[in-house]
Amino acid sequence: MCGIVGIVSTSNVNQSLYDALTVLQHRGQDAAGIVTFQDERFFLRKDNGLVRDVFRTRHMRRLVGNVGIGHVRYPTAGSSSSAEAQPFYVNSPYGITLAHNGNLTNAEDLSNDLFRTDLRHINTNSDSEVLLNVFAHELQKLGKLDPTKEEIFAAVRAVHKRCRGAYAVIAMITGYGIVGFRDPNGIRPACYGVRKTEEGEEYMIASESVALSAAGFKLVRDIAPGEAVYIETDGTLYTQQCAEDPHLYPCVFEHVYFARPDSIIDQVSVYKARLRMGETLAEKVLRERPDHDIDVVMPIPDTSRTSAMQMAHRLGVKFREGFIKNRYIGRTFIMPGQKMRKKSVRQKLNPIDLEFRGKNVMLVDDSIVRGTTCKEIVQMARDAGARKVYFASAAPPVRYPNVYGIDMPSVNELIAHGRSVDEIGQLIGADWLLYQDLEDLIACVNDVNPEIEGWECSVFTGNYVTGDVDAAYLNKLEAARNDENRFQASGGDSSDSSDNGIIDLYNDED
């Protein structure tokens, strides 16, 4: 999962891009990058690390220009090297940089075609570089020195015909502007907004609406599936539908886990959706155990807080913060090796003993992936003196891998794969385990947008909306995602400074 942002402004965009990336930091904590444009040159800074660590004052001063794009990333399978930090750059045609959120399911075939037919070289293992070269090649095929908006939209149409999977993209074309587009199923989110100044209108494209509002932009709307938004350097905006048969099937996991609660995605409030998740969990408790003995409901910080609060309210029991979170520890389900994950949970959360002692506690989390974190947390609650420990997941059982940009473990590492709810409850040590029903989750995220035809729920159902995911693909994905390969790919070292600086290029000595 990644966060992307692009701005066309009437003044320098470096600070606005930086601020937007900090707001989108929850979408990726492995690497960050910004590229700006001025006087026919790109200025680039990217490296591994959090936004605040990648960009120093000296970097910001060099990121000059009124147009720019940014990216935050966490590693996908086998790709934790800083060489794969984004945005990516290709010099022909015009000079194009690109930031991408999602995953191409036919990246390997595309890479072969690019080399053998399009005569383009791919320098990393990233499907984002593949997507960039597909877009660049299709734009170059048009053979125009000064591309018009129609020709840029034609290149996006060609991308849709060649690329499969999930992609929300922002690309910057030297001297012309930025273009943002979503895949024909709208799996990954993207929206755009406007900010009026004395000098004129400024535009931002971003993964989530919260990035717009934090920078003073007014949300215009979401980019439709298959649609492209092209903003010229002078602030002129054009939109066009570029897919032949678009359908809106957004990823439901955005609302469960990834998106910030103050975002609105495809006209659905993430906060309201999570409130409803807590409501439906409470209803399930009342159906299955109307005489429950829950004394207190506690969230596993932070994503589940909204659902847990509403669950407690509906059940008429106390809501308490039983765990204090150390905010300087990364997300545990993407950490290599079980020992590191177990150690991280203890470093990440610390229980408040008096809230647990002698009580029957219902712990609420947004989802259960490996179960390692849940098992440790349940034991922490018992060690803190809880009499009984119940556990509720705001999402249904995660039984299948994600192929659209969420780097979940291989299928054999998913605790719910091939197991019943009772078996999972025994493995994590809970006295009672409660999962959200899928139909209830869908009801929670369905809102005022009649254009949503369905939801991408493959991690729960094994049904992939793009229709091109078979057993062979999943087997190859599993091999890439197992812990051993992930640890070896990281090499135990992410300290190399990738770049590198500007595409002029300046060497950025840290």
Q: Please report, in range form, the residues annotated as the binding site.
A: 303, 365-366
In sequence order, what DSSP letters do the residues of 9-30 get, joined into one string? -SS--HHHHHHHHHHTGGG--S
Q: What are phi and psi of 328, to 5 degrees?
A: -105, 15
Structure-block tokens of residue 503: 């595409």
Give the C-alpha separation, 459 to 410, whole Å.
11
Q: Measuring CA to CA, how many Å separate 460 from each of 196, 251, 257, 284?
A: 43, 12, 14, 18
Give the C-alpha separation, 2 to 340, whole Å.
23
Active site residue 374: no
Q: What are phi and psi of 146, to 5 degrees?
A: -125, 95
Please, where are the H alpha helices in 74-186? 107-116, 127-141, 149-162
Please, where are the H alpha helices in 24-82? 51-54, 57-62
Annotated catalytic residue, options 2, 163, 191, 444: 2
Give the C-alpha separation, 16 to 216, whole Å.
10
Give the C-alpha separation, 44 to 30, whole Å.
17
Tell me whether the omega of the peptide bond preceding residue 237 falls within 30 degrees of 0, making it cis: no
- The maximal CA–CA distance of the chain, rounded, in angstroms, is 74
Give the C-alpha separation, 496 to 137, whole Å.
31
Give the C-alpha separation, 467 to 204, whole Å.
32
Give the C-alpha separation, 449 to 191, whole Å.
15
Length reported for the chain:
510
Binding site for Mg(2+): what residues are annotated?
Answer: 303, 365-366
* SS3 at position 193: strand
Active site residue ranges: 2
